[in-house]
Structure 1
Amino acid sequence: MIYMKISRLLIFVFLIAPSFLLAQTKEVLFTIDNHPYYTDEFMRVYNKNLDLVKDDSQKDLDKYLDLFLGYKLKVEKANKIGLQNGTNYQNELKSYRNQLSKNYVNDSKVTNELVHEAYDRMQQEVRASHILVLVDEGASPQDTLKAYNKVLDVKKRLDAGEDFIKVAQQFSEDPSVKENNGDLGYFSAFRMVYPFENAAYKTKLGQISKPFRTRFGYHIIKVVDKRVNRGEVTVAHIMILKQNDAAQNEKAKTTIDDIYKKIQQGENFESLAQQFSEDKSSSAKGGVLQRFGSGQLSSEEFENVAFELKDKNQISVPFQSQFGWHIVKLIEKHPVRTFDDMKFELEEKIRKDERSLLITNSLAKKLRAKYTFTKDSKLIATIKGLVNDEFYTQTWVVPEKSKDLNGVVLTINKDRKINSKVFLDFIASKQKSNIKTKPVARLVDELFEKFVDEQLITYYNDNLENEFSEFKNVMDEYRDGLLLFDLMEKEIWNRAKNDTIGLNDYFKNNIKNYQWKKRYSADILSSTDSKVVEKAQKFLKKGKSLEYIKEQLNNDGKVNIMSKSGMYEEDYDVLSQFKDLPKGVTTIVSKDQYFFVVNISDVKPAGSKELSECKGKVISDYQQYLENNWVDELKKEFTIKVNQDVFAKVKNQLHN
């Protein structure tokens, strides 16, 4: 919803973008009903838009001031009628702020390091096998130690020279080991959990890693191969499913071979895919699959064939995978993009990936040094007495005691006081994290440190407007933009749609703008073959129907002739090729490698349109008419005072 609104806001709102601020003294430029508007905002917005506006008149400062005044008058009107209190408005503003704040609520140094690390890793694909010893992320110390000792025993076997595959088959607790012997195939950055990715890229080719832990348990990996990243590929395929019966499977092989012969004879790959491919998810689209990279499909054979195709539209010979027989056509190769092209995308992936914890932890560490904060140790001790072992079974609830729980447990910068109830709710919410820290007193201390980090980041986020002037400017402009959208919808767009009398009057007064050109009721027939069109022309002259003509000329599964029918103006598409169009069948003309013949059944002279025939255009024009006169009405509604002496100084600064 937000993005839809932005597209419409750009029609009339001052563009939202960071800008260079001139050094200046902040003064009141004008007031609207005693509400002051300052020179710094006016100069910032003017400079920001200077190179963007196409109309030179908008660069004239007097005219620009009038535009800026009109903009602020609309904002005043929106606030006056209470649009700023609307639920949808509040939700959208909050959503946008959350999105914008992501660029600020991070550690840019750590983020940049992670982005570069991810991009460097994406240049290479790693093939690794692994052995997994399962242990829950929140397992007890006893269970964790048991799993760790088991993985150490496995490592000793490998160090002693035992075969990795045999050890994996015997000891790995990954359910897929029975099928793949622990081989995970090729992968690149973001395809595995971050600790696993780290181990894979840091372990040398042919070497076995030390045991390491992920949220699934302890792993040992062996790096089998490393190669240049093949990027991604888009292909289409025709598939005949594998059959259990030997005779049926041979029939499937014969079918795919016959299809391949038809392709070699020049028949269309996409049409054959639609007719014969048994992959129902892609056959209707001509066999086209979603683009993929190494390790994303469950068939390595299919991936290898797809990536081996070199030239666009190159078609493979039939080959077999575990799913059946395939013929693959290369649509497009997508090599790894440049760093600049991928930077934003990588930042988004990192935010969603567990490596984002590195950013959060780094930011929290900086904020602990930036802000002063104090805790109430006595209150925390009281809270420790309220938490019990039910936490570990996820059944603990915040006690309904108010006297002992009321109080400020954490104070940040003396102006943010956080009640103990907030911390208790935080503790309750962390039960799902399956934390096993014991005893309870130690658990509460551990959770309080996490709570402090979270509250510091929240405090920082809430004060971004005070921390960064550009953030405040963008939020102010977006806030005004949303208000203007709601106001325009209420005062202009909806009014233009619903004001029947006003719309009719506007239409009658401007009828000259809504005129038909000469029109023809026509059947337009086309083909790339002139002889086919000649035949169609003869049929038309004999009075044959379009259905009859298509039946006669579209045969043997080929579409030789196409038609479209309707009422068209004289300059429509191919009609402009004819000098004169009386009723009846035309001569044959050519355009863009196609041949056309037209059958005219009726001719209508130029004339005025009915409102029903152009209502959408009239509503749009009426909206613009209402908006153009609206600012004059607002100027009468509000009291405006422009400080001309201050404006003269602004002119002088901007012209110098």
Structure 2
Amino acid sequence: MNLKQLFFGILLSVNFAGFSQNANKEVLFTIDDKPYYTDEFKRVYNKNIDLVKDESQKDLNQYLDLFVGYKLKINKAYKLGLQEGQAYQSELKSYRGQLSKNYLTDSKVTEELIQEAYGRSLKEIKAAHILFLVDENATPADTLKAYKKAVEVREKAVKGEDFGQLALQYSEDPSAKENKGELGYFSAFRMVYPFESAAYNTKKGGVSEIVKTRFGYHIIKVEDVRKNRGELTVAHIMILKPQAKTTEELAAAKNTIQDIYKKLQQGESFESLAKQFSQDKSSAGKGGVMNRFGSGELSSEEFEDVAFSLKNPNDYSTPIESVFGWHIVKLVEKHPVKTLDEMKADLDVKIRKDERSRLIMNSMTEKLKKKYSIKKNDKVYALTAKAVNDKFYVGEWSVPTDVKLNANLVTIDGKMFSGTDFLNFLNSQQKSENTIKPIAKLVEAKYQQFVDQKLNEHYNENLEGEFPEFAAVMDEYRDGLLLFDLMEKEIWEKAKTDTIGLQKFYEGHKQNYMWGNRIDAVVLSTTNKDFAKKAQKLLKQGKTADQIKEQMNIKDAVNVMSNAGVFDENSDALPKSIERKNGISDVIKEGEYYFVVQINKHLPAAPKTLEEAKGKVINDYQQFLEEKWVGDLKNEFKVRVNQPVFESVKSEMKS
């Protein structure tokens, strides 16, 4: 965590649920006639009270002084123009974008989708499908033709005709020729949302209604429904099927996997054998360990079924065959399905990336249409629509310069957008796929997108007015960013680089940076009493700690440890019962350890050097500079506290 993260971690610990807006706010104080109100003071005090360790700062008189000092610094930052900095503006915009996400979606719909996705994730569906391809923007005639064909084939499936054969005969999914429409098992988020919903809403053994996705029309046969098996981490040893696939080569590959299996049964290491023999290059170097997976995520159902059949960690399978080759699978860890609370954040992220997000956006847009007035100027729209021609489809259309198009096209909550605004929006869309025809229909669809976008932008721009807690957090972050930049410029960097000032401050406050009584000693420790006695004997012979360790720590065994240096006399590195006298101690037992200590000399209490105390000195010097600086700010700006109002606030908060 860097300094800025720590700074804002303390500054912005706002609890939205605990926020309340006080309508009866009064002016508490002014800085150069700019008012600051009681509601903000009380909110910030109550928010920070549990974080304050210094009891004096809980005193309301003391806290008001700190709060005024904080606002003085912000005024100074604005006076210096720090709010105009590009880095400041960029970071503030980025933070607002992150914070606004919670307000720009329909939370009720999001929660419903999370609940739905979690419920579905508890089950796995095995299904097959038949696809009739339809482009998203196909003509009505082509769409109807595909739909009628789907209806005809679905009737055959419902009457009991073999679904696999129907898929082989009618499906326009290229893979159907290989798999007869079989999709294996899948769970939530594995298929596009409309397909997933149709599958989960169809009973086992049943045939779904015809479902439309961006690929076309589907008929789905649900073959099985089972509980989600969770996820696995496994390792495997793989021998690939030879490309030529001659009888001799296949037999040799199969014999290799059988030989590896025999080695495992003889007690050889799975990890070592995987590194030596496995032909899966992505996992061999890791002892065969594969990425964690769930049902339907691998290309081999046979492999998955064997992996999920293993009961205990380190259990391994007999050799199995897949389309890729032969495998021996070892279970590393089972990962059961998580609880809703554990999955909630991950589900939320997946929903925002999935087609489901359109449901949330559409729901929010519909709410905004009811919230804000929208007035369309039909005459300007007709004029604007005529300005768009078929060149748009090939990217050769350009925005006309007709001044009449600058007239107001649509008004959203009192904010006007011209025909030119809409045409510029259209121009930005020209490179995307535009297949809706004729051009008038395309312009109509784009106009609705334009209005929806402007609706959401208007709402976003006015979040501070809609949500007091959002405005409060943004005010704090805005001020916090400025304060960080200001403090870095005026205090922190100065304290680090002003060597003369730092030395002078240290000289004037040496008494605050003192060593206690210390002991220069060598401490030897071991868990074996005989080793401790031997170490003591070697110390008495004049051996150094390094020589003792070299002599006693043999054959990779660490029999004795050493710790040498200057210790505070109450240091935990020293045994508690040691006599404080120079020389070599007796063997001392404390807990599981035996100690021998050689005390070389005692050092009395003395001031630390600047280098020894530098961190603490810099910190104190920063505080000294800040206090002096705030005093200067009080002279630079005119501060007036409304004392009667403050007394009223104190009475209210104490009660």
1:131 to 2:130 alignment: yes
Kept after mapping to 2: 8 A contact 1:464/1:472: yes
In structure 2, the partner of 1:397 is 397
The separation in 2 between residues aligned to 1:604 and 1:275, in whole angstroms, is: 60
Change (3 A) 1:149 1:546: farther
Quick check: 500-509 or 632-641, which moved more?
500-509
User: Quick one: which amino acid aligns to residue 239 of structure 1?
Assistant: I
CA drift of 1:199 comes to 0.7
User: Quick one: which amino acid aligns to residue 475 of structure 1?
Assistant: M
CA drift of 1:412 comes to 1.5
Quick check: 48-57 or 183-192, which moved more?
48-57
The separation in 2 between residues aligned to 1:413 and 1:84, in whole angstroms, is: 30
Kept after mapping to 1: 8 A contact 2:463/2:470: yes
User: Quick one: which amino acid aligns to residue 316 of structure 2?
Assistant: S
The separation in 1 between residues aligned to 2:99 and 2:400, in whole angstroms, is: 38
1:262 to 2:267 alignment: yes
The separation in 2 between residues aligned to 1:104 and 1:646, in whole angstroms, is: 35
In structure 2, the partner of 1:333 is 335
Change (3 A) 1:317 1:64: same
Change (3 A) 1:504 1:137: farther
SS of 1:641 mapped into structure 2: strand
TM-superposition CA deviations, 1:282-312 (whole Å, max 9, x none): 566665554433222334344334444455x
Consecutive unaligned residues in structure 2, runs of 5 or more: 243-248
TM-superposition CA deviations, 1:302-348 (whole Å, max 9, x none): 4334444455x45334543535433423335242213x444444333
Kept after mapping to 2: 8 A contact 1:210/1:220: yes
Kept after mapping to 2: 8 A contact 1:387/1:396: no
The separation in 2 between residues aligned to 1:573 and 1:257, in whole angstroms, is: 55
Quick check: 54-63 or 184-193, which moved more?
54-63
1:19 to 2:18 alignment: yes
User: Quick one: which amino acid aligns to residue 263 of structure 2?
Assistant: D
1:454 to 2:446 alignment: no
- Residues 473-512 of structure 1 aligned to structure 2 (within 5 Å): 473-506=472-505, 509-510=509-510
In structure 2, the partner of 1:654 is 653
In structure 1, the partner of 2:407 is 407
The separation in 1 between residues aligned to 2:60 and 2:314, in whole angstroms, is: 60
In structure 1, the partner of 2:237 is 239
Kept after mapping to 1: 8 A contact 2:535/2:596: no
The separation in 2 between residues aligned to 1:492 and 1:652, in whole angstroms, is: 36
User: Quick one: which amino acid aligns to residue 377 of structure 2?
Assistant: D
CA drift of 1:647 comes to 0.8
CA drift of 1:32 comes to 1.4
User: Quick one: which amino acid aligns to residue 410 of structure 2?
Assistant: L
TM superposition score normalised by structure 1: 0.82
CA drift of 1:603 comes to 11
1:379 to 2:371 alignment: no
CA drift of 1:563 comes to 11
TM-superposition CA deviations, 1:376-426 (whole Å, max 9, x none): 222222222221223334x14332414233222111222x11132221132
In structure 2, the partner of 1:368 is 369
Kept after mapping to 2: 8 A contact 1:18/1:470: no
The separation in 2 between residues aligned to 1:597 and 1:167, in whole angstroms, is: 83
Kept after mapping to 2: 8 A contact 1:140/1:436: no
In structure 2, the partner of 1:557 is none
Change (3 A) 1:55 1:511: closer
1:84 to 2:83 alignment: yes
The separation in 2 between residues aligned to 1:650 and 1:251, in whole angstroms, is: 84
The separation in 1 between residues aligned to 2:590 and 2:208, in whole angstroms, is: 70
TM superposition score normalised by structure 2: 0.82
SS of 1:21 mapped into structure 2: coil
User: Quick one: which amino acid aligns to residue 123 of structure 1?
Assistant: L
Rg larger for: 2
CA drift of 1:576 comes to 6.1
Kept after mapping to 2: 8 A contact 1:574/1:591: no
Change (3 A) 1:514 1:356: farther
The separation in 2 between residues aligned to 1:617 and 1:515, in whole angstroms, is: 13
In structure 2, the partner of 1:294 is 295
Change (3 A) 1:49 1:277: farther
Kept after mapping to 2: 8 A contact 1:253/1:325: no
TM-superposition CA deviations, 1:7-63 (whole Å, max 9, x none): 322345674644343755221100112211011111222233345545544332222
The separation in 2 between residues aligned to 1:181 and 1:101, in whole angstroms, is: 47
SS of 1:335 mapped into structure 2: coil
In structure 2, the partner of 1:43 is 42
In structure 1, the partner of 2:354 is 353
CA drift of 1:497 comes to 3.1
Kept after mapping to 1: 8 A contact 2:28/2:38: yes
Change (3 A) 1:535 1:111: same
Quick check: 131-140 or 528-537, which moved more?
528-537
In structure 1, the partner of 2:185 is 186
The separation in 1 between residues aligned to 2:307 and 2:590, in whole angstroms, is: 40
The separation in 2 between residues aligned to 1:135 and 1:200, in whole angstroms, is: 20
The separation in 2 between residues aligned to 1:320 and 1:444, in whole angstroms, is: 59
SS of 2:403 mapped into structure 1: coil
CA drift of 1:626 comes to 3.9
Change (3 A) 1:507 1:378: same
SS of 1:262 mapped into structure 2: coil
Change (3 A) 1:185 1:525: farther
CA drift of 1:642 comes to 0.5
Q: What is the aligned-residue RMSD (CA, Å)?
A: 4.4
Change (3 A) 1:604 1:652: closer
In structure 2, the partner of 1:465 is 464
Change (3 A) 1:196 1:432: farther
CA drift of 1:201 comes to 0.6
Q: How many residues align?
A: 636
Consecutive unaligned residues in structure 1, runs of 5 or more: 555-559
SS of 1:481 mapped into structure 2: helix
User: Quick one: which amino acid aligns to residue 80 of structure 2?
Assistant: I
- Residues 99-178 of structure 1 aligned to structure 2 (within 5 Å): 99-178=98-177
Quick check: 77-86 or 560-569, which moved more?
560-569
CA drift of 1:645 comes to 0.7
The separation in 1 between residues aligned to 2:181 and 2:387, in whole angstroms, is: 47
The separation in 1 between residues aligned to 2:72 and 2:549, in whole angstroms, is: 60
The separation in 1 between residues aligned to 2:455 and 2:167, in whole angstroms, is: 46
- Residues 198-213 of structure 1 aligned to structure 2 (within 5 Å): 198-213=197-212
TM-superposition CA deviations, 1:337-364 (whole Å, max 9, x none): 13x4444443333222211222222222
User: Quick one: which amino acid aligns to residue 208 of structure 1?
Assistant: V
1:424 to 2:398 alignment: no
Change (3 A) 1:597 1:255: farther
User: Quick one: which amino acid aligns to residue 136 of structure 1?
Assistant: D
Change (3 A) 1:240 1:22: closer
The separation in 2 between residues aligned to 1:453 and 1:384, in whole angstroms, is: 18
TM-superposition CA deviations, 1:67-120 (whole Å, max 9, x none): 222222222222121111111221222222222222222233323322222222
Kept after mapping to 2: 8 A contact 1:410/1:417: yes
1:97 to 2:96 alignment: yes
The separation in 2 between residues aligned to 1:155 and 1:108, in whole angstroms, is: 38
- Residues 580-599 of structure 1 aligned to structure 2 (within 5 Å): none
The separation in 2 between residues aligned to 1:489 and 1:227, in whole angstroms, is: 60
Kept after mapping to 1: 8 A contact 2:578/2:588: no
Kept after mapping to 1: 8 A contact 2:283/2:289: yes
CA drift of 1:209 comes to 1.4
Kept after mapping to 1: 8 A contact 2:399/2:427: no
The separation in 2 between residues aligned to 1:114 and 1:100, in whole angstroms, is: 21
User: Quick one: which amino acid aligns to residue 437 of structure 2?
Assistant: K
